[in-house]
Amino acid sequence: MDSAFITIGMPIALVIIMMGLGFEVTLNDFKRVKEHPKNVIIALFCQLILLISIAFCLAKLFKLEPLLAVGLMVLAASPGGSTANLFSYLFKGDIALNITLTAFNSVIAAFTLPLVATLSLTYFMRENTVIGIQFDKLIQVFLLILLPLVFGMLIRAKKPNFAKMMEKFIKYFSVIFLILICVGALIKEGDKLGVYFSSVGVVCALFCGISLSIGYFIPKLFKMTEAESRACAFEIGIHNSSVALTIAISVLGSVTIAIPAAVYSVIMIFFAFAVGLIFKAKDRRQMNSLYSRYSESP
């Protein structure tokens, strides 16, 4: 990929994407945790503890090469995004909970993502010192995620109509940017593509399936409603791959580290739709059951 695009274009694109996320978030989304603290704590535990632990176990179990293992960890530490909100809307999840979780995840990721990236590089690359992350890179990750989010929130508070108008544009921009980066990363590593897909493809599919399952069944275990559980499933199972890709290529300087995020960005859409269709089928069964009871009543 062109060096100017990596060093300048990708960080600017991520700033725009995170600012767009801020356009969807208000202070009330953070305050909502007072009403349902359990829901937010459970979802964040799944996102920040369980998913990162599972990613580590999968990387070890499938003996991923070090750079791919680091990429899987960076992906696991990346926050959710507006795509999760879209799936919640389509399949009757609690969108308000989604927005709250996205707000918290994005802020926390500004701290946890650099930490996970550093620890992963230290562990998986301990026999290879070619790639590393310095303190200034940690600050760069922090600034790329948090500052645009806060700035977007401020614009939303001061100019809500402008923020609302820009939301759709930035969503389209995010999709186009994600596609370009995925295609570029896959082309760049074209000679190793078959090897990568045979190894990391299975891992990403497993990770996505496990993430969506954890996101749904653990909230159910803790007596969250159907809509809340669906929101958690999409929030936990759908990652902001644009963040992971930009961190991998622009900050860590490795296209190989970006491969898991590129593969996952494709897989998660199909898996999320499949889960959504299961939810739709469940809704139909419940409606048919209610209709049958109503019809049989005297």
Do residues 253 and 131 touch, judged by C-beta distance below 8 A? Answer: yes
Between CA 34 and CA 190 the distance in angstroms is: 49
**Dihedral over Cα of 36, 42, 43, 48: its sign:** positive
Q: Lowest mean pLDDT: which of 24-33, 127-136, 224-233, 285-294?
A: 127-136
Q: How does the average pLDDT of the chain come out, rounded?
A: 82
Residue 27 predicted with pLDDT over 90 = no
Between CA 108 and CA 18 the distance in angstroms is: 13
Per domain, the residue ranges of the chain are 3-296
For residue range 145-188, list pLDDT tens digits in order.
888 888 888 888 888 888 888 877 787 777 787 677 767 666 76
pLDDT at 56: 96
Task: Give the orientation angle of helix 37-45 with respect to helix 95-124, to 10 degrees.
Answer: 30
For residue range 101-151, list pLDDT tens digits in order.
888 888 888 888 888 988 898 899 876 554 555 566 667 777 778 888 888
Distance between terminal CA atoms of the chain? 71
pLDDT at 7: 59
Residue 204 predicted with pLDDT over 90 = yes
**pTM of the predicted protein model:** 0.84
pLDDT at 134: 59
What pLDDT band is residue 30 in, cutting at 50, 70 and 90? confident
Residue 293 predicted with pLDDT over 70 = no
Q: Which fold has domain 3-296?
A: Na+/H+ antiporter like fold (1.20.1530)
In 3D space, the residue among 84, 7, 71, 75 whose CA is nearest the CA of residue 43 turns out to be 84
Which residue do the tokens 């680091």 mark? 70
Do residues 241 and 208 touch, judged by C-beta distance below 8 A? Answer: no
In 3D space, the residue among 234, 272, 255 whose CA is nearest the CA of residue 6 turns out to be 255
Copy the structure tokens of residue 270: 């199909």
Residue 273 predicted with pLDDT over 70 = yes
For residue range 211-257, list pLDDT tens digits in order.
999 999 999 999 999 999 999 999 999 988 888 888 888 888 888 88
Between CA 38 and CA 217 the distance in angstroms is: 15
